[in-house]
C-alpha cells in the first residue's frame, strides 16, 4: 500500500515536473515580426517576450487546457486555447491584428477649423494663435492665416469666401457676441475685443456649419473660454502700447480671474512712422472678469464679463467730398455672458446661457455728430441626448432681442431706431453608421419680428474615413442673415439675405501633420441692393441683389519634418462675383483677391531661449472702380505682400519668470495699397484724382515685457 502511495506521489510529481515547451513566432498581418509581444499562459507567471525576430519560447509545468494570451501595444489581444497535456512541445505562429482604436473615429468637419488645447489632433492650438506674428495677439488676425479668409488690410475683420465681414458671426461659449470688434475709424483696420489668453479653444467654420448656429451667411467663430483654473497666478505686462495686469485665484471647485489693461498708441505712434494724421492717439481701458464654478459631478457654471472704453481722433481726408474732416470717435462696450453645462442623466446633457451686449459709439465729424447705441440680449437653451452609441440628438432654442438706435445731428436732427426679436429653434441628429461613416441631418427655423419673416432651412453633412488618418467629407445647407443694421435702420421692410453652401473636403491628419483640401460652391440671393449709398427712403432698398463664389482652399501643416520647427501654409483660390449694393452690373467686390497665401513658420532656439515666428502673406490684386475709365470695377491694385516677425524670449527678471515679446509688422516695409478713394466730382482738368488707401503705419514695432508674479 505504502509503495503505491509513493509511486502515486512520484507520478504526480513527475507529471508536475514534466514541463511543456511553448515556442513560436509573433507577426502582424503583413508578416512583420512584433518584438516585445507578451506571450503567456493566462493566470500564470509562465510566459515570454518575443525577441527582435518575433520569436518566443518558454517552459511551463502547468497541465490541462489553458488560455494562451499574446498582447502588444496597438494590437488586439490574441487568445488561444492550448491543451498542455497533448504534447511536450507546442509550436505556434501568432498573427496579431491591429487595434481599431488606432484608427480614430470619423468626425464631421467639413468647413471647420478647430483650435483647442484639449484635443490631441487639432489644426491650431491657442498658443499658435497667440504667437502668430501677423495676428498681433488678435484671434481674428490669426484666423486670417487660415485658408478661405481674404486679406483686407484696411479693415482687419474676417472676410470669408467672397463674403463681407458682417457675414461672419462671433460666439463666446456658444452665445452670440453682437460687437466682436473694436469700433472702427474709416480706412483704419480694427481688431477683436478679446485677448486669446482668455480662451482654450476656437471653432472656426468657413461654411456649411451646424444648425446650432444661425444669422451668419458665411462663417462662424465660436470661442471657448478657459475652463476651471487650477493654479493661483498673477502677472503684469508693460508694453510700448500700454500696461496690462491679470490675476487668478482658485478654490476647490471654483476660480476667479481678473484682467485689466490700459492701451494707448501714443508712444507707439511716435516710434512707428504714421501715415495718418492723429489728433488723438487711439487709447482704451479694458477689464475682464471670469468666474468658473463646478457644480455637482459634471456641471460647469461660467460667468464672463468684459467692458471697454476707447477713444481716438484723426484728420480724415474725405476724398469724396474733397474736404479734410476732423473725426473724433468715442466708444463704450459691455459684454456679459453666463453659461451652464451639465449632465442631467447619463444620456441627457443640458447647455444653457444668457448673454447681454451693450455698445455705444459716438462720432464727432467736424460739427456734426453721429451717436449709435446697440443692445442685445440672448437666452439660449439646448439639450443633447445620446440615444445610443451611434446616435446623438441635439435640439434647442434661442431668443435674441436686439435694439438699435442712431442719432444723427447733421443739418437737423434725425433718429433711426429699430428693435428686432429673433426667435430660433434647431434640431440635429448625428448618426454613425460605422466607425468609418457618419451623417448629420439638421434643420433650423428663425423668425424675425422686425422683418416679419420666418425661415426654415436644412443643414446636412456626412463624413467617410478613407484611411487610418484620412477622411472625405461633404456638407451643405441654406443660411439666412438679416440685412446689416446700416440698411435696416432705413428700410425695416427688407427680407433676410440668403446663402447656399456646398462643401467637399479631403483631409489627412496625424498628430504632427495635416493636409487638407476643400472645394466649395456658394450662392447668394436676396442681397440688399440700392440706387445710391445712404439713401433715406426705404423704397430705395430692395432684396434684389445676388452673387456667387466658388473656390479651393488648401492647408498644410507640418510639425516634425523640419528640425524643431513648425510651419503651416494656407492657399486659397476664389472666383467671386456680386451684384448688390449700388453695383450697376455683376462684378468682383473690392475685398476679393483671387489668390491668397499665408506661410507661418515657428521655431524655438533652445540655446538662445528664443521662440521665433515669421509670417509671410500674399494676396493678388484687388479690383476697384476708377471713374476716369469706362466700365465698372475696371482697375486692379498691386498685389499685397507682408512679412511679420515675432521673437519671444524667456528669462528671469527680479527673480520672477518673465517673457519679452517683440513683434514687428511689415518688416520689409512693403508699400501696400488696398484701394483708392475718388472724389464725387472731377477737378478743373476733368480728372478724378485718386487717394490711395494704405496701412496707418509703414512698419509697426511693439515690445512687451510680461512678469509672472
Partner 1 sequence: MKKLLINLVFSSLSFIGYSDEAYQKAMTQSIEKLFQATTIPEYVEIANQFERISNIEKTEWLPLYYASYAYIMISFQEPENAKKDQYLDQAQKYLDQAMAIEPNESELHMLQGFLYPSRITIDPMNRGMELMPEMNKSLDKALELNPDNPRVYFLRATMMFHMPEAYGGGAANALPLYQAADEKFRIFKPKTELSPSWGKEINDAEFKKVQEVMQK
Contact positions toward partner 1, by CB under 8 A?
5, 8-9, 12-13, 16, 35-36, 38, 40, 42-49, 51-52, 61-63, 71, 73-74, 117, 125, 127, 230-231, 510-512, 559-560, 604, 609, 611, 650-652, 655-657
Cell of 417: 431706431
By beta-carbon proximity to partner 1, the closer residue of 88 and 415 is: 88
Q: Are the C-beta atoms of residues 250 and 229 closer than 8 Å to each other?
A: yes
C-beta neighbour count of 356 within 10 angstroms: 18
DSSP string for 87-146: -SEEEEEEEEPBPGGGSPPP---TTEEEEESSSSS-SB-HHHHHT-GGGTT-HHHHHTTS
By beta-carbon proximity to partner 1, the closer residue of 52 and 532 is: 52
The C-alpha atoms of residue 668 and residue 134 are separated, in whole angstroms, by 13
* 626 Cβ contact list (under 8 Å, min separation 6): 634, 635, 676, 678, 688, 690
By beta-carbon proximity to partner 1, the closer residue of 304 and 611 is: 611
By beta-carbon proximity to partner 1, the closer residue of 40 and 181 is: 40
Cell of 70: 499574446
Q: Which of 461, 563, 695, 514 has the alpha carbon at shortest distance from 146?
A: 514
Closest contact distance (angstroms) between CB of 658 and partner 1 is 8
The secondary structure element, H or E, covering residue 242 is strand 242-250
By beta-carbon proximity to partner 1, the closer residue of 512 and 638 is: 512
Q: Radius of gyration over alpha carbons of the chain, in Å?
A: 32
Q: Which of 636, 613, 612 has the alpha carbon at shortest distance from 625?
A: 636
Closest contact distance (angstroms) between CB of 10 and partner 1 is 11
Closest contact distance (angstroms) between CB of 418 and partner 1 is 46
Closest contact distance (angstroms) between CB of 71 and partner 1 is 8
Q: Are the C-beta atoms of residues 353 and 173 closer than 8 Å to each other?
A: yes
- Stated length of the chain: 709
DSSP letter assigned to residue 590: T
C-beta neighbour count of 317 within 10 angstroms: 15
Closest contact distance (angstroms) between CB of 23 and partner 1 is 16
Closest contact distance (angstroms) between CB of 199 and partner 1 is 14
By beta-carbon proximity to partner 1, the closer residue of 254 and 554 is: 254
The secondary structure element, H or E, covering residue 439 is strand 437-448
CA torsion sign for 157, 161, 166, 167 is negative
By beta-carbon proximity to partner 1, the closer residue of 6 and 539 is: 6
Closest contact distance (angstroms) between CB of 657 and partner 1 is 5
Query: How would you classify the pairing of strands 595-605 and 323-343?
Result: unpaired
By beta-carbon proximity to partner 1, the closer residue of 73 and 87 is: 73
Closest contact distance (angstroms) between CB of 48 and partner 1 is 8
Q: Are the C-beta atoms of residues 70 and 92 closer than 8 Å to each other?
A: no
By beta-carbon proximity to partner 1, the closer residue of 47 and 260 is: 47
Closest contact distance (angstroms) between CB of 223 and partner 1 is 18
Q: Are the C-beta atoms of residues 92 and 104 closer than 8 Å to each other?
A: no
By beta-carbon proximity to partner 1, the closer residue of 454 and 512 is: 512
Closest contact distance (angstroms) between CB of 139 and partner 1 is 17
The C-alpha atoms of residue 356 and residue 30 are separated, in whole angstroms, by 60
By beta-carbon proximity to partner 1, the closer residue of 36 and 322 is: 36
Q: Which of 455, 370, 381 has the alpha carbon at shortest distance from 404?
A: 370
* 259 Cβ contact list (under 8 Å, min separation 6): 195, 197, 198, 244, 245, 246, 286, 287, 288
By beta-carbon proximity to partner 1, the closer residue of 267 and 651 is: 651
Q: Which of 646, 598, 636, 674 has the alpha carbon at shortest distance from 189?
A: 674
* Backbone φ/ψ region at 654: left (φ over 0), alpha (ψ -120 to 50), beta: left
3-class secondary-structure state, position 538: helix
3-class secondary-structure state, position 250: strand
By beta-carbon proximity to partner 1, the closer residue of 2 and 30 is: 2
Closest contact distance (angstroms) between CB of 40 and partner 1 is 5
Closest contact distance (angstroms) between CB of 663 and partner 1 is 17
Q: Which of 586, 455, 473 has the alpha carbon at shortest distance from 524?
A: 586
By beta-carbon proximity to partner 1, the closer residue of 139 and 177 is: 139
Closest contact distance (angstroms) between CB of 85 and partner 1 is 13
3-class secondary-structure state, position 497: strand
By beta-carbon proximity to partner 1, the closer residue of 102 and 537 is: 102
CA torsion sign for 686, 692, 185, 496 is positive
Closest contact distance (angstroms) between CB of 230 and partner 1 is 5
Cα dihedral angle (578, 579, 585, 586), rounded to 10 degrees?
Answer: 20
Closest contact distance (angstroms) between CB of 198 and partner 1 is 15
The C-alpha atoms of residue 218 and residue 209 are separated, in whole angstroms, by 9
Amino acid at each position: 500500500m505504502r509503495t503505491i502511495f509513493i509511486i502515486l506521489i512520484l507520478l504526480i510529481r513527475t507529471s508536475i515536473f514534466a514541463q511543456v515547451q511553448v515556442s513560436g513566432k509573433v507577426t502582424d498581418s503583413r508578416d512583420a515580426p512584433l518584438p516585445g509581444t507578451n506571450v503567456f499562459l493566462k493566470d500564470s507567471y509562465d510566459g515570454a517576450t518575443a525577441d527582435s525576430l518575433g520569436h518566443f519560447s518558454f517552459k511551463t509545468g502547468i497541465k490541462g487546457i489553458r488560455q494562451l494570451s499574446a498582447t502588444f501595444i496597438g494590437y488586439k489581444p490574441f487568445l488561444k486555447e492550448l491543451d498542455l497535456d497533448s504534447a511536450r512541445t507546442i509550436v505556434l505562429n501568432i498573427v496579431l491584428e491591429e487595434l481599431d482604436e488606432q484608427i480614430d473615429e470619423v468626425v464631421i468637419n467639413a468647413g471647420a477649423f478647430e483650435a483647442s488645447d484639449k484635443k490631441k489632433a487639432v489644426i491650431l492650438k491657442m498658443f499658435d494663435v497667440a504667437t502668430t506674428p501677423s495676428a498681433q495677439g488678435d484671434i481674428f488676425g490669426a484666423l486670417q492665416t487660415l485658408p478661405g479668409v481674404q486679406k483686407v488690410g484696411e479693415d482687419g475683420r474676417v472676410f470669408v469666401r467672397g463674403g463681407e465681414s458682417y457675414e461672419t458671426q462671433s460666439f463666446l461659449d456658444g452665445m452670440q457676441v453682437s460687437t466682436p470688434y473694436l469700433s472702427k475709424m474709416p480706412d483704419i483696420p480694427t481688431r477683436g475685443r478679446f485677448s486669446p489668453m482668455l480662451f482654450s479653444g476656437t471653432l472656426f467654420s468657413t461654411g456649411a456649419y451646424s444648425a446650432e448656429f444661425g444669422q451668419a451667411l458665411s462663417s462662424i467663430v465660436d470661442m471657448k473660454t478657459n475652463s476651471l483654473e487650477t493654479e493661483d497666478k498673477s502677472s503684469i505686462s508693460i508694453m510700448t502700447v500700454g500696461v496690462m495686469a491679470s490675476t487668478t485665484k482658485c478654490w476647490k471647485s471654483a476660480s476667479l480671474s481678473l484682467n485689466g489693461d490700459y492701451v494707448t498708441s501714443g508712444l507707439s505712434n511716435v516710434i512707428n512712422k504714421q501715415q495718418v494724421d492723429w489728433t488723438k492717439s487711439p487709447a482704451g481701458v479694458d477689464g475682464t472678469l471670469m468666474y468658473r464654478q463646478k457644480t455637482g459631478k459634471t456641471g460647469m457654471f461660467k460667468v464672463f464679463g468684459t467692458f471697454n472704453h476707447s477713444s481716438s481722433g484723426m484728420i480724415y481726408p474725405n476724398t469724396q467730398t474733397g474736404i479734410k474732416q476732423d473725426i473724433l470717435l468715442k466708444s463704450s462696450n459691455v459684454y456679459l455672458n453666463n453659461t451652464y453645462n451639465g449632465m442631467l442623466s447619463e444620456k441627457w446633457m443640458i447647455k444653457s446661457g444668457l448673454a447681454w451686449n451693450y455698445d455705444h459709439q459716438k462720432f464727432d465729424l467736424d460739427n456734426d455728430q453721429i451717436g449709435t447705441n446697440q443692445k442685445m440680449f440672448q437666452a439660449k437653451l439646448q439639450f443633447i441626448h445620446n440615444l445610443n452609441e451611434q446616435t446623438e440628438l441635439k435640439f434647442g432654442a434661442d431668443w435674441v432681442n436686439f435694439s438699435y438706435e442712431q442719432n444723427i445731428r447733421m443739418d437737423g436732427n434725425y433718429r433711426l431706431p429699430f428693435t428686432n426679436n429673433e426667435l430660433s429653434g434647431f434640431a440635429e441628429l448625428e448618426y454613425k453608421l460605422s466607425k468609418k461613416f457618419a451623417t448629420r441631418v439638421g434643420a433650423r427655423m428663425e423668425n424675425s419680428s422686425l422683418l416679419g419673416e420666418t425661415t426654415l432651412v436644412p443643414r446636412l453633412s456626412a463624413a467617410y474615413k478613407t484611411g487610418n488618418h484620412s477622411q472625405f467629407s461633404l456638407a451643405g445647407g441654406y443660411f439666412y442673415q438679416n440685412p446689416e443694421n446700416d440698411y435696416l435702420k432705413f428700410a425695416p421692410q427688407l427680407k433676410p439675405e440668403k446663402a447656399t453652401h456646398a462643401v467637399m473636403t479631403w483631409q489627412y491628419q496625424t498628430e504632427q501633420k495635416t493636409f487638407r483640401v476643400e472645394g466649395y460652391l456658394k450662392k447668394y440671393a436676396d442681397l440688399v441692393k440700392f440706387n445710391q449709398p445712404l439713401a433715406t427712403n426705404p423704397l430705395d432698398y430692395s432684396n434684389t441683389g445676388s452673387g456667387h463664389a466658388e473656390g479651393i482652399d488648401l492647408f498644410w501643416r507640418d510639425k516634425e519634418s523640419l528640425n524643431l520647427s513648425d510651419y503651416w501654409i494656407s492657399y486659397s483660390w476664389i472666383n467671386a462675383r456680386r451684384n448688390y449694393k449700388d453695383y450697376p452690373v455683376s462684378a468682383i467686390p473690392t475685398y476679393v483677391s483671387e489668390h491668397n497665401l499665408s506661410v507661418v513658420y515657428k521655431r524655438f532656439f533652445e540655446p538662445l531661449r528664443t521662440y521665433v515666428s515669421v509670417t509671410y502673406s500674399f494676396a493678388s490684386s484687388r479690383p476697384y472702380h476708377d471713374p476716369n475709365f469706362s466700365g465698372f470695377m475696371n482697375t486692379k491694385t498691386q498685389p499685397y505682400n507682408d512679412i511679420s516677425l515675432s521673437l519671444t524670449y524667456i528669462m528671469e527678471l527680479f527673480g520672477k519668470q518673465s517673457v519679452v515679446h517683440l513683434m514687428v509688422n511689415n518688416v520689409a516695409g512693403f508699400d501696400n495699397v488696398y484701394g483708392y478713394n475718388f472724389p464725387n466730382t472731377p477737378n478743373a482738368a476733368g480728372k478724378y484724382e485718386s487717394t490711395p488707401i494704405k496701412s496707418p503705419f509703414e512698419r509697426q514695432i511693439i515690445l512687451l515685457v510680461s512678469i509672472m508674479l
